[in-house]
Structure 1
Amino acid sequence: MREIRTESLTQALNKMLGTKIIRVEFQTEQLHGGTVGDVQLVTGNAKTTDGTDIRYKIILKVQMKWERYGDPDSWRREYGFYTSNLGSLFSESFRWPECYHAEMNGEENETQIWMEYIDGISGLNLTGDMYERAAEELGRFQGRLYAEQPAFLQSLANLSKVDYMKKFYLHYRSWNRVYDYVRSEDCEIPEHLCKMLIDIDESADEIFNRIEKLPVVLCHRDFWVTNILYLNGRIVVIDWDTAGWGYLGEDMASLIADKADIEHMVDYYHRCIPAYYKGFSEYANISHIVDNFVYEMILLMFGYRLVEWYMNAISQAPHQDQVDESSMYLSTLQKIYEMKNE
């Protein structure tokens, strides 16, 4: 947990509360922490110049320098976004949390972002209607930017590259540990699921050639349930550090398959993609697109990752939580299979 800088907190609260703060008291609660990222909920009382005490809640997100494979500057991307004009592109129905103060600590190679606390519904508490709403609002957001092509967005330097998904897939496919496992006699994954993964490998070049003809849009690239908050019929999306140029539908693959609601996964696949296309088509004509390739993107982005997670879980068995976890990854692969074969 990072130490709270009272001066930075006061600056953030001045903007958040719209008044001059002369003294602040605070408590912290760890929401997420690790070696490279730290998110804290900061609460307390702020005293104004006229002596009024105001209760507040605010989020502090600290990001340390680190190099994500294929995207080494992602750690400073969200800071760059919040200090740019990107926020003006959002709407009331689809937005990110408001930023009240952001700073870059050059000596420690870290960013600190003080932002709005959102008390919304998230994770596996999202209902099917909320999934669908998130998909439609994302499509509407991407469609508007695709149609309007804001000049400053084209000039933003630190965006993940359009071929990130392809490089990520090829990186996993070249990893002998997972590639050889699904082809080995010792593999404990059901044969039809292994064949699904092998088939996508054999068709990957052709599939990417067709995916690369889809519209290029601004992707969030981590659009999964934990980063989506539903609040009063509106969608708030957090964690924009992987965002960049990608292909139409990439974010739908994450929404549906990234540690999602397995029981309803196939249903959400059939509900969310039409909703996403509906939102996008309000701004851009995509009637010529016959195949959306979201199913293929799911396999390309998550197929070998699920194998890796499964292998890691069974290697730690027979502890019951690892057994349950390995079953969850197999169930996810099975649901992906059912999307195409139901």
Structure 2
Amino acid sequence: MSEIIAETLKQVLSKMLVTKIIHVDFQAKPLHGGTLGHVQLVTGNAETADGGKLPFKIVSKTQTKWERYSDPDSWRREYDFYQSNFGALFSESFRWPECYHVEMNEEENETQIWMEYIDGISGLDLTGDMYERAAEELGRFQGKLYAEQPAFLQNLTNLSNVEYMKNFYLHYRSWKRVYDYIRSDDCEIPKHLCKMLIDVDENADEILNRIEKLPIVLCHRDFWVTNIIYSDGNMIIIDWDTAGWGYLGEDLASLIADEADTEHMVEYYRRCIPAYYKGFSEYADISPITDNCVYEMILLMFGYRLVEWYMDAGSGNKLQETDDERTLHIDTLQKIYEMRIEQ
């Protein structure tokens, strides 16, 4: 693994294992996730100065510069966070992986982060109770920061903008490929689902005005099941490169709808919103809020994306795989439709 320098690994492990490491034998394998970065699990044995051998597991994440729409500095955000006092914001029950070493290669515009490997439950293996716990801990985390307003957080320069969700939606809405498709006679998405999305477009100004009255909180902005790890009763959240200011409930929309467990999606919607508000209300009074807008946020953030995924389903794949993908996206839209009953 050419990008790993043995000297750096020895320094990293010396810090992680709290003893001087003089030699390492290691192997690396790619980890799932890290769509926009190169994430690897590095394992092996470290030799200490007194001749002992210690097994280790550590994660190496390399991120090369790229520009996300309306958020050009997101590629280096985790590096900036780990260089700051951001970690002090967390609790034992809701935190990110501990970092042991960060590097910035200015010439290559590339960051490398060495961090704790978390062994736990993630993705669609999360249970309903774990979803609910994640929602409550998220609310508690955001409520505490909203109430305390730590000064250093206000001074962080590399945070995504509060308008990110709005700009994301307007960007998709201006894309004629998806906008025209749900309005065309050739559209194969059920008409009641198309109407649901068209209604959002027709009422977008009023919806956005309601959302913009909600409290502004620190959002993860990629708070979906693959970035949530349940370990020993705690929630460890990875991939903070989209984090920034957003609205109360914005992360909850991702938890419920981003590549969702469609079978339980409506149930999780019903369970997670009260849990989230319970956590948040431990620190801040939310009684004046009569409309949480989570349903509308789900439609703004994922409505047109699901249309795009449906249209792109099965590119180069077998027919059956194409049908399965399209069915999944239709099922997700249908579950969002059914959430209206829960309003």
Is the counterpart of residue 132 in structure 1 residue 145 in structure 2? no
Q: Confirm or deny: 8 A CA contact 1:163 1:246 kept in the other structure.
A: yes
User: For 1:273 and 1:189, how far apart are their aligned partners in 2?
Assistant: 28
Q: Which residue of 2 aligns with 1:75?
A: 75
Q: Which residue of 2 aligns with 1:114?
A: 114
Once the two structures are superposed, what CA deviation does each residue of 1:205-228 show, in whole Å capped at 9, x if it has no partner? 011111111000000000000000
- Cα distance, 1:267 vs. partner? 0.1
In the superposition, the TM-score normalised over structure 2's length comes to 0.97
- Cα distance, 1:341 vs. partner? 3.3
User: For 1:12 and 1:202, how far apart are their aligned partners in 2?
Assistant: 54
Q: Which residue of 2 aligns with 1:22?
A: 22
Q: Which residue of 1 aligns with 2:294?
A: 294
Q: Which residue of 2 aligns with 1:277?
A: 277
- Cα distance, 1:296 vs. partner? 0.2
* Residue aligned with 1:59, SS: strand
Q: Which residue of 1 aligns with 2:219?
A: 219
User: For 2:7 and 2:34, how far apart are their aligned partners in 1?
Assistant: 24
- Cα distance, 1:2 vs. partner? 6.1
Q: Which residue of 2 aligns with 1:319?
A: 319
Q: Which residue of 1 aligns with 2:267?
A: 267
Q: Confirm or deny: 8 A CA contact 1:317 1:323 kept in the other structure.
A: no
Structure 2 counterparts to residues 1-342 of structure 1, below 5 A: 3-32=3-32, 36-313=36-313, 319-341=319-341
- Cα distance, 1:232 vs. partner? 1.1
User: For 1:123 and 1:251, how far apart are their aligned partners in 2?
Assistant: 16
Letter in 2 for 1:129: D
- Alignment gaps of 5+ in structure 1: none
Amino-acid identity (%): 76
User: For 2:23 and 2:317, how far apart are their aligned partners in 1?
Assistant: 52
User: For 1:5 and 1:278, how far apart are their aligned partners in 2?
Assistant: 47
* Residue aligned with 1:307, SS: helix
In the superposition, the TM-score normalised over structure 1's length comes to 0.98
* Residue aligned with 1:26, SS: strand
1-10 vs 144-153, greater mean Cα deviation: 1-10
User: For 2:232 and 2:185, how far apart are their aligned partners in 1?
Assistant: 52
28-37 vs 216-225, greater mean Cα deviation: 28-37
- Cα distance, 1:9 vs. partner? 1.3
User: For 2:137 and 2:98, how far apart are their aligned partners in 1?
Assistant: 18
User: For 1:286 and 1:10, how far apart are their aligned partners in 2?
Assistant: 49
* Residue aligned with 2:313, SS: helix
* Residue aligned with 1:157, SS: coil
- Alignment gaps of 5+ in structure 2: none
User: For 2:186 and 2:74, how far apart are their aligned partners in 1?
Assistant: 38
Q: Confirm or deny: 8 A CA contact 1:36 1:65 kept in the other structure.
A: no
Q: Confirm or deny: 8 A CA contact 2:314 2:321 kept in the other structure.
A: no
Once the two structures are superposed, what CA deviation does each residue of 1:172-193 show, in whole Å capped at 9, x if it has no partner? 0000000000000000000000
